[in-house]
Copies of this chain bind each other. A is one copy, B any other.
């Protein structure tokens, strides 16, 4: 990230999640309700477990915004973990509070547990899972909501939808598929597509590999926990060149593409068509019917630890993907159009 830069922090059962965003222009209206709505969208979806009922995330802004508008200075976002009082001792910063309550030692397959314990040399796997948990996507969604507020000012809008759950490709069957998995103590993944409309031409570039906006979006989406596949536009597998490429035509003196297989990106740049990004989420790896694994202490085979979890989180994941793509678009727009205030940015953008 070059202009829209940020860091996020926070453990799953720590006091709070925090983000600092640096690089937004001054004068951008910050609608806290919108951020909270995005946080709530992330907590919804059929197939979610207990935690989503416990927590109702809301954001607090502690810097960078005054009287509803950005100042140009870094913005701090805080999302409290509402269950923290029950975890205060277990997650304590203080050395004297050390305890093995809630410690656990069985590597959950499909999670960061095993590689993380080797990398950071931890015996209590809680020290891995607290940060590797998808809980951290809550604050990422808050950051993305701020990015979306910038995009909205330029008329860029976003939507997304789930296109497959397990083996069900038809929307009416999604809930049934999830119910079956729930009954089996199993979990299920799926596929979704994110769409951005009213896109400008020329975000990203072909001039250097790391300036391609397709690559940047792929990074943002693939690094979402549980995502294993990212597609831009239509998967070209099986298409001939004459079928796949989006021919051009003139209408009302403006150039359009007849189709949008490219998903709005050609040559690493947005081409003015709708941006279409799909991704496949793997099934959640924490199963009620536990997977076989190894215990870090006994070095013996055992079954994986099960804390409360979800059967399916594909719907939530679409929100995470939407907002992560918003990060990249915001950054590319700030790079291309400059501006230290929203008005300057808009002037440069609309010229």
Number of copies of this chain that the complex holds: 4
Besides A10-B74, A120-B341, A241-B284, 12 other CB < 8 A contacts? Answer: A7-B20, A11-B66, A67-B99, A72-B120, A109-B247, A110-B245, A115-B272, A119-B205, A128-B267, A132-B268, A188-B240, A222-B230
A220 within 8 A of B: yes
Decide: B291 and A247 in contact? CB cutoff 8 A. Answer: yes
Closest 7 CB pairs of A and B: A112-B267, A338-B338, A215-B223, A68-B95, A119-B202, A187-B241, A241-B283
Q: Which A residues, 319 to 340, have Cβ-Cβ distances below 8 Å to chain B? A: 324, 334-340
A46 within 8 A of B: no
Cβ-defined partner of A115 (8 Å) among B66, B218, B270: B270
Cα separation A235 to B119 with both chains bound (whole Å) = 26
Cα separation A29 to B95 with both chains bound (whole Å) = 9
Closest-by-CB residue of B relative to A343 is B121
Closest-by-CB residue of B relative to A62 is B15
Contacts of A104 in B (CB 8 A): none
A130 within 8 A of B: yes
A181 within 8 A of B: yes
Q: Which A residues, 208 to 245, have Cβ-Cβ distances below 8 Å to chain B? A: 208-210, 212, 214-225, 227-242, 244-245
Contacts of A335 in B (CB 8 A): 3, 335, 338
Cα separation A319 to B135 with both chains bound (whole Å) = 37
A92 within 8 A of B: yes
- Known pairs A119-B340, A228-B232; A114 contacts B164 (CB<8 A): no
A122 within 8 A of B: yes
Closest-by-CB residue of B relative to A131 is B73
